[in-house]
Structure 1
Amino acid sequence: MAIFEKQASNKVLIDDTESISCVIENWFNTNGHTEFVIRVQRGPFSDRTWRIHKRYNDFVKLHSQLQASGLPLTLPPKKIIGNMDPEFISERQQGLQKYLNSIVMNPILVSSLPARSFIDPANYCQPFRELALQHVSLALRGEVGWEVVSPLTEIGWRLRKHYYHVRSKNAPKEEFWASWIDYGPDRHLDDKDMHAVFKSLSQIQHPYIYPIELCLCTDIGALVVRTSHKNGSLRDIICGVKPKQSFLKKYGNPKGHKPLEISQIALYGRQILEVLKFLHDKALPYGHLHTGNIIIDNDRVKLLDIENGVLGVPSFYRPYFMQHKRIFSMQSIDVYCFGHTLYEMTFGAPLHESIVDSYPADCQQLLKSVLDSILSPEACKAGLPTIEDLLHHPFFSTIVLTLQPTDRAHLKIPNSTKEQLKKVTSLLEERLKEEQKMVRSQKRLVRVQEMMSSEEERKKQRSKLKQEQKMAKEKQRQKTLEEKDEKDKLNGVTNGDRAESVNSEEKDEKDKLNGVTNGDRAESVNSSSTTGTATPPSMTGGSNVPTPPPAPPLVVPPPPPPPLTNGNVTSPTLSASNERSALLSSICNFNKTKLRKTTVK
């Protein structure tokens, strides 16, 4: 390798615990079938989005794979005739959207390999099991006396963790389970320190930690061998399932939810707190406590997967404590995970929310006070108690632990490696704080967008209300005019009279706007009448008969040219003036009453 050549990363940078959202944006017909365009987003930020095209048959295949969970998933039914109708496709799109929502909102379904490979084929369509078997074979090649017998089903929730049945020549009758896991995004130890930590873990001793038979690390991941336990984990006991069944079948929709007794919860909780205190005293980061990592052996807790912290894999409850900025240290993470574990032991079912608002009425008061101090909204805002605070709580302090003479707590880590572990812990906490800041900023952005959209909606509502009011006024005006028409018809008023009345009203309105008074208008009318416009009087005096419209003003024709007399022009001024005076006087003195009446034969 060249001096300045960048070394390729040997860890998985994708966090499998990040939330996934799916939205069916559109559909189109191609080659005689319909494809749906789905926009997928990982995490809270829109820059990590991609689009996939899926047919209805792809949904059917996914549905058949998820049936092992036993959950009642509703997939839109098939249709042979009319399945290309746009109306039917739109209805199917809505049904498929509900189906996807039910998957991504369920932590068991969304963490399964069929769902992940459907949503993100670019990152989850690899042959994970075949690659893991190759890594296990290479890791065991240098270990004498160990061999792989057969792979086990996916009994755990992690997609990149695989289990195998292995055999040791030194103990041929003993059944061993080996787990292989790839390095996660929070792996910060180099190969030298990683080997030193794994050497120390192989020699760890503690009455409440499950012993490790063999642990190896390579440049890709780690292999850890432990003896199998017939009863399985604490979660298997609570759900009443068989340990060797697949994770999807065991925990998708378990038939039994058996909570523990109060005495058992207090005893197991006290033992778990003792283990967590021991790990923190040794500066070994953990953060992976849940009922699936606990073995119950002769009324004793045995903690599993204590190596996960240095391997850098994400925590099972990471999506929950990412929402609370006061949960940022490794101790607060362990306390928060302890609260979820305590809740599942108490009620027999996991808590699918980040906080708890209420409890059943039969919950024991001391136990409720412990849960409130960890999982209540006030506790998550103000800060969680420490492990020492919980050990002094009356619910746990009264428990007396019985130890055997052979029980001892031992974990020796070199000082140089311990300093590196402290740096790893600080890096884990820094990444968590940064992501929590980004989540909060994204939440604020979403709230602002909601406020803006609500303001726009209010504006639309106000505009719509104004339009409706305007339409109502127009309808009322039309109704008033129709009623007036009916009254006018009964009173014998014609359209011309109404038009004249409307014109006069409009003229009045215009005059008011222009500042013209009635007196001005009368004066204007009188002046205009004196200029030569005359209105003949009415021939009838009936009040019901409408008066005819005023006659248009007479236009006086221009005078004829002056006559020629023996080649001389007579005086035009005098003759024209006399003729005009005679005409005006005859018009003004005209009287209809003097006309002679004629009889029609």
Structure 2
Amino acid sequence: MAVFERKKEDRIVTDDTKPLIAFITDTRNTDGHVEYLLEVWRVPDVETKWNVSHRYSDFAQLHATLRVGTVALPALPPKKVFGNTDRDFINERRVALQKYMDGILANSLLAASLPVRQFLDPKNYSRNFQEEGRQNVHMVLRAGGSHEVTEALPQCGTRVTKVYFLAHPLADPKTQHVLWWAPFGPDKAMNLRDTHATLTALVQCQHPYIVPSVSSVATEVGVCVVRPWFPQGSLRDMIHQVRPKGSALVKYSGDKLIAVAEKKCAVFGRQILEALLFLHEKGLGHGHVHTGNMVLENNVCQLLDLENQVVGMPNQLRARVVQHRRINSIEALDVYSFGHAMYEMLFQRRLETDTCEDFPPECSPMARSVLESILSAEACKNGLPAVAGLLTHPFFSEVPLHSYEKPTLKLPSSVKQAIALSHQSLLTRLAADQKKVRQQRKLSKAEAFVQQRSIKGRPKKPTSRRRGANGNAENLNNKTTTTGTPNSPLPPPPPPPTTPLTPVPPPPPPPPPPSTGPASSPEAAAVDEKERTALLNAITAFKKGLLKNVETNDRSTPAV
């Protein structure tokens, strides 16, 4: 081992796309303050759970941090100064805080934000990712970079570990570029040499609907990429009518949306499909198709950030992909993501479910046909269409393309092999999580079935006929229990029925009021208890099946 070998930093292997689940399991009093204990895990990793504790003030601070822009937050229970350690109040507040956390995690934009992740998973998200990114970027630039950072763009994207900066070339200060840094993710499978070779090849990509990077550098802990800057922002920024420099939580929580004409959606969709078809023919894929990775320039829609697949970032829709075992290839992953992007373009909002059966009424039959072929439950169950098949759909095939530039991308055989191994690693991890989801579904169905059977197997309430036969004895038992005291001797109970056909005698008259005289002797109490036990045993031993059948002569019909 070399003396001056730099120690590798532990890279984040946490999958940021896995939804967090949190349950308040208990409370405790620490130094006069009530702490709420939360059990947290990621879906579908239910076997890996951890605990965090927070006071009410921590919930209030989280609420204040998230209250930016027009973000719609669930109601936080009010603060209480006096009596906040009362047990009943703590239980009520615990229920209210659980409802608050459920509302936060049900919102995909809030659940993916850094404050929420720091609140629920401080072990993995307590670091300052913006500062770490700045340090790594400056190390790359000092080692021979051709750019200079001019401005930081904190949290302008939806990835908590991916940080952005504005930069300009040293030779041309007037030209603006965007520089981003991201640590390696859980889907990284290439070694450093193959990563360098793949990034070098992607820089040479030439396609009318793909934006290549200006330069890219890989280190032992992450990747630094420089690409052109688009002042108008991404397609998602244009839909929300916001500038690209703002925080993602502020930008995408507003309700000022601009509609995209359906004809333009068809044009943009056709252009993205052409780019995907080219990548798939080269043995590549995009893996991160969404409106945040699309830009518009002169009415041309282009894809950004091909380098995400090299970094090993999981797809942002991965939590929904794991619900469907037939999405098991890079092409199927891109097609499914493309369907969500088309939904967002057509209706100016994201699809919050993994499938969709009911589309808004303004959706035309042609556009509905495209969305149903990708996003319906039947399509996800039976298999998604190929990119080439979607290009033959009338919604896209009738759109003219005005660019005839010949695309080029040369990939050495070593790079192709490294990309294939990387895809295989990604799909293997995806298949493992899909299997977990299926097993959890089966377990939930089995538990529901057992619970239903247990409810059906419970003894039914006695019928009216049986209740009429045994009601007198039950009434006697109840009266004996409520009125029988050592100070009030009870009259002897009637003897049990000796013949099944003999009806149960009527109940005896109510016992006299308690006597104020001397207490009864222990011998009398013992006799009463013995007779009561005999009566109960006789009632318990009664069997309805021993009753004889009786022929009834029905004379209710009037004689003619």
TM-score (norm 1): 0.77
**Following TM superposition, by how much is the alpha carbon of 1:477 offset from its aligned partner in structure 2, in angstroms?**
5.0
What is the correspondence of 1:130-279 to structure 2 with a 5 Å cutoff? 130-251=131-252, 253-279=253-279
* Secondary structure class of the residue paired with 1:345: helix
What is the correspondence of 1:581-596 to structure 2 with a 5 Å cutoff? none
Amino acid at match of 2:169: S
Instruction: Confirm or deny that 1:371 pairs with 2:345.
Output: no
**Following TM superposition, by how much is the alpha carbon of 1:211 offset from its aligned partner in structure 2, in angstroms?**
3.2
**Following TM superposition, by how much is the alpha carbon of 1:105 offset from its aligned partner in structure 2, in angstroms?**
1.4
Residues 557-585 of structure 1: CA distance to partner in whole angstroms, max 9, x if unpaired? Answer: xxxxxxxxxxxxxxxxxxxxxxxxxxxxx
Match of 1:437 among 426, 435, 438: 435
Residue aligning to 2:507:
none
In 2, the alpha carbon distance for the partners of 1:304 and 1:88 equals 52
Amino acid at match of 1:123: N
Residue aligning to 1:335:
335
Residue aligning to 1:413:
411
- Shift of the 143–32 alpha-carbon distance from structure 1 to 2, 3 Å rule, reads same
**RMSD after superposition:** 2.7
Residue aligning to 1:527:
none
* Secondary structure class of the residue paired with 1:135: helix
- Shift of the 269–373 alpha-carbon distance from structure 1 to 2, 3 Å rule, reads same
Amino acid at match of 2:439: S
**Following TM superposition, by how much is the alpha carbon of 1:32 offset from its aligned partner in structure 2, in angstroms?**
1.1
Residues 263-286 of structure 1: CA distance to partner in whole angstroms, max 9, x if unpaired? Answer: 101100000000001111111232
In 2, the alpha carbon distance for the partners of 1:270 and 1:48 equals 43
Contact 1:231 1:237 in 2 (8 A): yes
**Following TM superposition, by how much is the alpha carbon of 1:467 offset from its aligned partner in structure 2, in angstroms?**
12
Residue aligning to 1:540:
none
Higher percent of residues as helix: 1
* Secondary structure class of the residue paired with 2:415: helix
Contact 1:259 1:344 in 2 (8 A): no
In 1, the alpha carbon distance for the partners of 2:435 and 2:304 equals 31
* Secondary structure class of the residue paired with 1:53: strand
Contact 1:343 1:350 in 2 (8 A): yes
Contact 2:74 2:103 in 1 (8 A): yes
In 1, the alpha carbon distance for the partners of 2:425 and 2:100 equals 39
In 1, the alpha carbon distance for the partners of 2:146 and 2:475 equals 101
Gaps of 5+ in 1: 484-494, 514-601
Alignment identity in percent? 38
- Shift of the 162–473 alpha-carbon distance from structure 1 to 2, 3 Å rule, reads farther
* Secondary structure class of the residue paired with 1:136: helix
* Secondary structure class of the residue paired with 2:47: coil
- Shift of the 467–76 alpha-carbon distance from structure 1 to 2, 3 Å rule, reads farther
Amino acid at match of 2:25: E
- Shift of the 108–454 alpha-carbon distance from structure 1 to 2, 3 Å rule, reads same
* Secondary structure class of the residue paired with 2:175: strand
Amino acid at match of 2:198: V
Residue aligning to 1:447:
445
Residue aligning to 1:307:
307
Contact 1:10 1:219 in 2 (8 A): no
**Following TM superposition, by how much is the alpha carbon of 1:262 offset from its aligned partner in structure 2, in angstroms?**
1.3
Contact 1:11 1:185 in 2 (8 A): no
* Secondary structure class of the residue paired with 1:47: strand
Contact 1:285 1:310 in 2 (8 A): no
Amino acid at match of 1:124: Y
Q: Which one is further off, 14-23 or 66-75? A: 66-75
- Shift of the 327–482 alpha-carbon distance from structure 1 to 2, 3 Å rule, reads closer
Residue aligning to 1:13:
13
Residues 122-151 of structure 1: CA distance to partner in whole angstroms, max 9, x if unpaired? Answer: 111012111111111111112254222231
* Secondary structure class of the residue paired with 1:17: coil
In 1, the alpha carbon distance for the partners of 2:462 and 2:35 equals 43
Amino acid at match of 1:290: H
- Shift of the 367–86 alpha-carbon distance from structure 1 to 2, 3 Å rule, reads same
**Following TM superposition, by how much is the alpha carbon of 1:51 offset from its aligned partner in structure 2, in angstroms?**
0.9
Contact 1:10 1:183 in 2 (8 A): no
In 2, the alpha carbon distance for the partners of 1:438 and 1:138 equals 41
Contact 2:285 2:334 in 1 (8 A): no
**Following TM superposition, by how much is the alpha carbon of 1:322 offset from its aligned partner in structure 2, in angstroms?**
1.0
In 2, the alpha carbon distance for the partners of 1:472 and 1:135 equals 85
In 2, the alpha carbon distance for the partners of 1:66 and 1:395 equals 40
* Secondary structure class of the residue paired with 2:180: strand
Residues 319-343 of structure 1: CA distance to partner in whole angstroms, max 9, x if unpaired? Answer: 1111000001000000000100011
In 2, the alpha carbon distance for the partners of 1:272 and 1:250 equals 24
In 1, the alpha carbon distance for the partners of 2:261 and 2:437 equals 38
**Following TM superposition, by how much is the alpha carbon of 1:457 offset from its aligned partner in structure 2, in angstroms?**
4.0
Amino acid at match of 2:142: R
Contact 1:184 1:311 in 2 (8 A): yes
Contact 2:202 2:212 in 1 (8 A): no
Contact 1:45 1:442 in 2 (8 A): no
Residues 205-247 of structure 1: CA distance to partner in whole angstroms, max 9, x if unpaired? Answer: 1111123222111111111112221211111111112211101
Contact 2:9 2:221 in 1 (8 A): no
Contact 2:68 2:250 in 1 (8 A): yes
In 1, the alpha carbon distance for the partners of 2:469 and 2:110 equals 57
* Secondary structure class of the residue paired with 1:356: coil
Aligned length: 487
Contact 2:217 2:223 in 1 (8 A): yes
- Shift of the 476–355 alpha-carbon distance from structure 1 to 2, 3 Å rule, reads farther
In 2, the alpha carbon distance for the partners of 1:481 and 1:177 equals 86
- Shift of the 452–302 alpha-carbon distance from structure 1 to 2, 3 Å rule, reads same
Amino acid at match of 2:427: E
**Following TM superposition, by how much is the alpha carbon of 1:184 offset from its aligned partner in structure 2, in angstroms?**
0.8
Contact 1:149 1:165 in 2 (8 A): yes
- Shift of the 30–263 alpha-carbon distance from structure 1 to 2, 3 Å rule, reads same
Residue aligning to 2:353:
353
In 1, the alpha carbon distance for the partners of 2:387 and 2:11 equals 31
Gaps of 5+ in 2: 480-488, 501-560
In 2, the alpha carbon distance for the partners of 1:51 and 1:330 equals 36
In 1, the alpha carbon distance for the partners of 2:474 and 2:299 equals 87
Residue aligning to 1:542:
none
Instruction: Confirm or deny that 1:48 pairs with 2:48.
Output: yes
Residues 395-426 of structure 1: CA distance to partner in whole angstroms, max 9, x if unpaired? Answer: 1111110026xx34121111121122122222
**Following TM superposition, by how much is the alpha carbon of 1:464 offset from its aligned partner in structure 2, in angstroms?**
7.6
Contact 1:289 1:341 in 2 (8 A): yes
Residues 354-380 of structure 1: CA distance to partner in whole angstroms, max 9, x if unpaired? Answer: 001111223111111111100011101
Contact 1:295 1:301 in 2 (8 A): yes
Instruction: Confirm or deny that 1:111 pairs with 2:112.
Output: yes
What is the correspondence of 1:526-565 to structure 2 with a 5 Å cutoff? none
Contact 1:34 1:84 in 2 (8 A): yes
In 2, the alpha carbon distance for the partners of 1:175 and 1:305 equals 17
Contact 2:153 2:246 in 1 (8 A): no
Amino acid at match of 1:442: Q
Q: Which has the larger Rg?
A: 1
**Following TM superposition, by how much is the alpha carbon of 1:470 offset from its aligned partner in structure 2, in angstroms?**
9.3
In 2, the alpha carbon distance for the partners of 1:242 and 1:427 equals 37
In 1, the alpha carbon distance for the partners of 2:373 and 2:249 equals 32
Amino acid at match of 1:243: P
- Shift of the 164–469 alpha-carbon distance from structure 1 to 2, 3 Å rule, reads farther
